[in-house]
Amino acid sequence: MKRIIAVAAVFALGAVAYAQAPSGPPPMPPYMLRTIAPEGDRLLPGRDGKSLFEAQCGYCHLMGGMGTNLLTKQQMIAGNPPQKGLLTNRDDLAADYVKTVVRMGKGAMPQQTKVDITDAELDAVARYLGKAG
């Protein structure tokens, strides 16, 4: 009898634990989610480079992104502080270089087409990142 009660108790506890278990996969960490792209005409020049960068490049180039992780390693090997792994902390990037990397790709970075980011959007992002001119 004791054994039956013990087995029943184990099943009951199991059922409670199962019912309380979260369903589906856990929520994604914030750096894996794409922020919402700014609204408006995508072909219009002079858009907000910061929010376009966060929306179009942020899932790789904000904190925790795979681009940031890889560039942090490269910067540290070159003797620079790890903060330089974030593109927004770099002051050695020229706007034309940013545009070339985005359109051609570089190493582990896949090229971004005009569907991913229009020329007008890329101009704004390159101006935002291109502190070296």
Q: How far is the CB of 4 from ligand HEC (least distance, A)?
A: 57
- Residue with Cβ nearer ligand HEC (12 or 69): 69
Is residue 108 within the footprint of ligand HEC (CB under 6 A)?
A: yes
Rounded to the nearest 5°, which phi and psi values hold at 28? -75, 145
Q: How far, in Å, CA of 97 to CA of 104, rounded?
A: 10
Distance of CA 63 to the CA centre of its chain: 7
Q: How far is the CB of 55 from ligand HEC (least distance, A)?
A: 9
- Residue with Cβ nearer ligand HEC (81 or 110): 110
Binder of ligand HEC out of 31, 50, 66, 72 (CB under 6 A): 66
Distance of CA 28 to the CA centre of its chain: 11
Q: How far, in Å, CA of 59 to CA of 68, rounded?
A: 9
Residues 21-40 that bind ligand HEC (CB under 6 A): none
- Residue with Cβ nearer ligand HEC (16 or 127): 127
Residues 6+ apart with CB under 8 A from 74: 85
